[in-house]
Amino acid sequence: MLQMKAEELTNPVVRAMVTAMNNGDRKAFFALFAPSAQLTDDGNPEPLAEWVDREIFRAHGSLYVEAEDRDGLELTGRFESDQWDMLTMWRFEVIDERIQRLDVAAI
């Protein structure tokens, strides 16, 4: 599958999150989330900050988006880090320009 450039992503909040993740910009990444944002990983609730630090920033994670759906609120792509290299799905709930919920799953 062809990789999409971050600037091609439809939803501006999702686009900013992918850009921040791939640039290793933790501050910009967390600024996009509501204070009460929820996260699930393969259907299991996880504490957002702890999971993101462990799975993304300490592990040098990047998401290479291959497709988007639901008006840019669902991404499919390869997640690569020091620990993982796998096809994943990222589903977002965005309200008032902030990510309220993020569901991540291996495909």
**What does the pLDDT look like over 51-107, one tens digit per residue?**
999 999 999 999 999 999 999 999 999 999 999 999 999 999 999 999 999 999 999
pTM of the model: 0.95
pLDDT at 2: 79
Q: Where are the alpha helices (DSSP H) in 38-99?
A: 48-52
Strand, coil or helix: what is 89?
strand
Strand partners, 85: 80
Q: Tell me: pLDDT of 1 over 70.
A: no
pLDDT at 22: 97
| Residue 8 near residue 19 (C-beta atoms within 8 A) | no
Q: Look at residues 69, 87, 70 and name the one whose alpha carbon lies nearest to residue 78.
A: 87
CB contact set of 74 (below 8 Å; sequence gap of 6+): 68, 89, 90, 91, 92
Arithmetic mean of pLDDT, 34-46: 98
